[in-house]
Each structure stands twice: as structure tokens, then as C-alpha cells.
Amino acid sequence: MKVSKRIADLPPYLFVQISRKIAEKKARGERVISFAIGDPDIPTPEHVIQRLCREARVPANHRYPETYGLPEFRQAIAAWYRRRFGVVLDPETEVLPLIGSKEGVGHIAFCYIDPGDVALVPDPAYPVYSISTMFAGGQPYFMPLTAENHFLPDLDRIPAGVAGRAKLIWINYPNNPTGAVAGLDFFERVVAFARRHDLVVCHDAPYTEVAFDGYRPVSFLQVPGAMDVGLEFHSLSKSYNMTGWRVGMAAGNAQIRDALMRFKSNLDSGIPQAIQYAAIEALEGDQGCIGEHNAVYQRRRDRIIEVLREIGLGVMPPMASLYIWARIPPGYTSADYATLLLDGAGVVVTPGTGYGQCGEGYIRVSLTVADSDIDEGLARLRDWARRTGGIGPRTT
Ligand SMILES: *Cc1c(COP(=O)(O)O)cnc(C)c1O
């Protein structure tokens, strides 16, 4: 049996070596502490779970949902966008519930990319943007995100010929994996660029509610003209610790939303209704949980950064997202360095190259680790640095 070219062409799993080492350590009964996964460890808020349990008993919720979601859920999404960002959306035509935002992020390529078309994709980035482009027969053109440019793509450096062939541009702020944030001025430049080249803008924004030091991330849709060119993907996953329930949304331009809806309606049958009611509860219920979670993440961020700096990494504290993007000392590859931490301290981090070539020179450290594991992980890193005399630039 021969698999399709799109499956055969999937890039190889980048962390083979590290995964093998983790498995070996576990087989020997050693405990590894993982800072590699971006999945909130704090439970879903109690009032949301209670609503889910109640709705699970309602027979109407046992039947097929509609692809485009319950009207109450679409209205709740529109009302949330208005309260949170001052963005006014028509719940009938400008909002689309998703089975987690990854579902929409993965499917939108099929609505705009024909074989040979280009999608502009950041590097480093969440891998789904480039892989879905390839699944649709298109080619990703990678826009480097560098520290010098505050991890924003430099739109002026995209060759005119590439921009001319492009159908779609991906952006993601607050950013995974760099933790960078973008302001309205950047989004304005993206709108102008999209107008000039007739592009669809896809803004992946699951981290707007995970922010620190009083910072409030903005929505792409706040910028004049954004509704003409773009769709924003959002999610309950990171805001309300609901990764396991699979519920998110797209909001923005009605035509783009309609294309995605038509594609989806031929593939899935929507989100289980009890989960849609739980999502309404999350969006409309007490929002105190957001500040509580962010206080926990901020405390973790500061504790982890202190130790990363001690062991010789260069770190800027992120203002939002669940990640610390740390510069490793010169002379190592990201993968070498991650292996060093695993061998020396039994601590797992993600090599920056897992998110693209421009991630070389960095590791990603996640804040979604239980506090007791953070205690142990940081103690191990300190102890390791003490034993080895700390690690500076590699000299051989
Ligand atoms: C977590 C994450 C998602 C997916 O979120 P779901 O709504 O759970 O599917 C999408 N994009 C980025 C950048 C993420 O980090």
C-alpha cells in the first residue's frame, strides 16, 4: 500500500533523538521534568465543568450539532469580541465555531491555496501553517522572525514576485514560540500589505488572554480594514484551560468565513452541543479565572527566567503567551543544547528548530508545568550548573 505524496512528504519528526532518550530514561525508572508541552496544567474552571455536566443530560444535546454552531454560541462569541476588543461582529455571518482553533487553522489552506500557490508563513511558527499549505499543494514562503525585528516579519523584505504569487499570509500574536507581541501599528501594516497584494490574512490568536504585567493584547480585527481582508482564529483552550474540550472560533470577513464554513460542512458535523454550552459559560461567566491563571504563569515565568539566566541563557521576559524563548550560548545547536539539559539535568525543553530553521539558537520553555515540577526542574538545573561549573560558549 502506497501512501499519498502528501503523507510521504511530511517532514520527519525532529525530536527523534530526544524522544528516544526520554523513553530510555523512563525505562530505567528515572523521572524527567518536561518544560516542552504547551498545555495548561491548571484545571478547567469549576462553573464551566458544571455547565458541561448539566448539558450532557439534555437529550437535545445528544444529537448531531450543526456545523456552524448553536446560534447562542455564535452570539456569545460576538458579544465577547465586543466586550473584550470593541470589535462588532455579525454572529450570523462573521463568526464560526471551530473544533478547537487548530481545526480551522488547518482547513483554511484548502479554501484559498491551489497547487503552486504560495502562503507566507512565519519562521519559527506553529507547524500547522506550513504543513496545511503543503497538504493543499501549495508552497510556504518563510518570513524570518528575528530578535532584531522584535519577532515580527519584515514585510518589506518579501520579494515582489513571491508576494504576487501568494494567496494568504499567516501571523500569530501573542506568538508561539517566541512569546512576542504585536501592536495595532504592525496590524495596520499587514492590512496595507494584504490590500496591495490581494492576500487573505489569517491571524492565529489563541493567546490574547494569557498576558502579564497588566499588558492587554489586541485583536487584529481592531484595525480599520482588517474585516475586509482577514480572519482571526481564537480558542477557549489557552484562555480557560480547555484544550481537552476542543472548542475555538474564527471571526472576521464574511466571505472568508463562508469559504471555511462550506469546506467544514463537508467534513465535520460541528462541536458537541454540551461543549458549546460550556464554552458559552466560559465566555459569559465570571472572568476572574483569567487573572488568577495569569498570576500563576507570571510567577512561574519570573522564577524560571532567574534560573535560565543563572545557567547562561539570554532571556527577555515575554509579556504574553505560555512560553519563554531563550537564547542558548554560542557553539551549540538547539538540539545539542536540549540534549545536554536532558542528559545533565533530566530536564526536557523544546529545541527552537522544532518550529523552523530560524528557531536555531533558541530553546522554548513552557510555563504549563505544575509548580512542584518547576521546583524540582529548577533545582536540577541549578545543581547541574554547579556541578559542571556552568556552561558558557562551547570552546571545542
Ligand atoms: C495551542 C495553539 C493552537 C491550537 O489551539 P486549539 O484551539 O486547542 O486547537 C493554535 N495555534 C497556536 C499558535 C497554538 O499555540
Q: Residues 184-197: pLDDT tens digits? A: 999 999 999 999 99
Alpha-carbon distance of 57 to 55, in angstroms, equals: 5
SS (H, E, C) 22-91: HHHHHHCCCCCEECCCCCCCCCCCHHHHHHHHHHHCCHHHHCCCCCCCCHHHHHHHHHHHHHHHCCCCCC
Question: Which residue, by CA, sits nearest to atom 3 of ligand 1?
Answer: 102
**Looking at ligand 1, which atom is closest to the CA of residue 175?**
13
Q: For the sheet with 314-315, list strands across it.
A: 314-315, 323-327, 362-366, 350-351
Question: Which residue, by CA, sits nearest to atom 15 of ligand 1?
Answer: 176
**Looking at ligand 1, which atom is closest to the CA of residue 125?**
13
Helices of type H across 217-333: 226-229, 254-265, 273-284, 288-310
Polymer length in residues for the chain: 396
Question: Which residue, by CA, sits nearest to atom 10 of ligand 1?
Answer: 102
CA of 331 to the centre of ligand 1 (A): 32
- Grid cell 501568494 in the structure block, residue: 166
CA of 248 to the centre of ligand 1 (A): 9
Residue 76 phi, psi (nearest 5): -65, -35
> Is residue 301 classed as helix, strand or coil in its secondary structure?
helix
Residue of 104, 60, 53 whose CA lies nearest to 273:
60
Residue 388 phi, psi (nearest 5): -95, 0
132, 175, 235, 268, best to mutate for ligand 1 pocket (most atoms within 8 Å of CB):
235
Q: Do 119 and 143 form a contact (C-beta atoms < 8 A)?
A: no
pLDDT score of 21: 83
- Grid cell 512569546 in the structure block, residue: 179
pLDDT score of 69: 96
Segments of the chain scoring below 50 in pLDDT: 395-396
CA of 194 to the centre of ligand 1 (A): 23
Which residues lie closer than 8 Å to 281 by C-beta, 6 or more apart? 47, 48, 51, 52
Query: Max CA-CA distance within the chain?
Result: 68
User: pLDDT tens digits for 62-103?
Assistant: 999 999 999 999 999 999 999 999 999 999 999 999 999 999
CA of 29 to the centre of ligand 1 (A): 32
**Domain 5-43+288-388 coded CATH 3.90.1150.10:** yes
CA of 47 to the centre of ligand 1 (A): 23
**Looking at ligand 1, which atom is closest to the CA of residue 39?**
1
pLDDT score of 2: 94
CA of 101 to the centre of ligand 1 (A): 6
**Looking at ligand 1, which atom is closest to the CA of residue 236?**
7
pLDDT score of 17: 73
Ranges of each domain in the chain: 5-43+288-388, 46-284
CA of 102 to the centre of ligand 1 (A): 6
37, 101, 232, 240, best to mutate for ligand 1 pocket (most atoms within 8 Å of CB):
101
39, 44, 99, 105, best to mutate for ligand 1 pocket (most atoms within 8 Å of CB):
105
Alpha-carbon distance of 132 to 192, in angstroms, equals: 25
Residue of 134, 173, 139, 133 whose CA lies nearest to 153:
173
**Looking at ligand 1, which atom is closest to the CA of residue 247?**
7
Report the 10 Å Cβ neighbour count for 53: 11
Report the 10 Å Cβ neighbour count for 134: 18
DSSP assignments along 99-153, one per residue: SSHHHHHHHHHHHH--TT-EEEEEES--THHHHHHHHTT-EEEEEE--GGGTT--
Which residues lie closer than 8 Å to 33 by C-beta, 6 or more apart? 346, 347, 348, 369, 373, 376, 377, 380
> Is residue 389 classed as helix, strand or coil in its secondary structure?
coil
The residue type of 72 is: E
39, 126, 210, 350, best to mutate for ligand 1 pocket (most atoms within 8 Å of CB):
126
**Looking at ligand 1, which atom is closest to the CA of residue 321?**
15
Q: For the sheet with 139-144, list strands across it.
A: 95-98, 248-252, 230-235, 200-204, 166-171, 118-123, 139-144
Alpha-carbon distance of 68 to 144, in angstroms, equals: 35
Q: 3.30.420.40, 3.40.50.300, 3.40.640.10, 3.30.390.50: which CATH number matches 46-284?
A: 3.40.640.10
CA of 258 to the centre of ligand 1 (A): 21
Residue 12 phi, psi (nearest 5): -65, 150
pLDDT score of 394: 54
CA of 245 to the centre of ligand 1 (A): 13
* Backbone torsion region of residue 84, taken as left when φ is above 0, otherwise alpha when ψ lies between -120 and 50, otherwise beta: alpha
Entry pTM: 0.96
CA of 205 to the centre of ligand 1 (A): 8
Residue 120 phi, psi (nearest 5): -85, 120
Which residues lie closer than 8 Å to 344 by C-beta, 6 or more apart? 384, 387, 388
Find how far residue 169's CA is from the centre of its chain.
16
* Ligand 1-lining residues (CB < 6 angstroms): 38, 100-102, 105, 126, 172, 176, 204, 206, 235, 237-238, 243, 248
C-alpha cell at 199: 492576500
**Looking at ligand 1, which atom is closest to the CA of residue 103?**
9
pLDDT score of 396: 45
